[in-house]
Amino acid sequence: MAKQSFEDALKKLESIVEALESGDLPLEEAVKKYEEGMQLSKHCHKLLEDAENVLTKVMNDKGEEATFEAVDE
């Protein structure tokens, strides 16, 4: 998963959420999907943190103040 892009991981995570929300999965499969979804969520979060760190560094190098706010959906 380390080489999986943010977009690909997010797309897979969205499909897992849809499958889980459908309620049609057997329990064992639902648990596996949940575990996979949690791993994808952590992967996406890490990629976003890395991107934020890069942007913060670039902005600091240019003398700008970097502030990021959480986006509520």
In a domain, 1, yes or no: no
pLDDT per residue over 9-55, tens digit each? Answer: 999 999 999 999 999 999 999 999 999 999 999 999 999 999 999 98
> Residue 12 maps to which CATH number?
1.10.287
54-61: long-range contacts, CB 8 A cutoff, minimum separation 24: none
- Residue 66 falls inside a structural domain: no
Range of the domain at 49: 6-61
Number of structural domains in the chain: 1
Rounded to two decimals, what is the model's pTM?
A: 0.77
Q: Is residue 67 part of a domain?
A: no
- Is residue 12 one of the residues assigned to a domain? yes
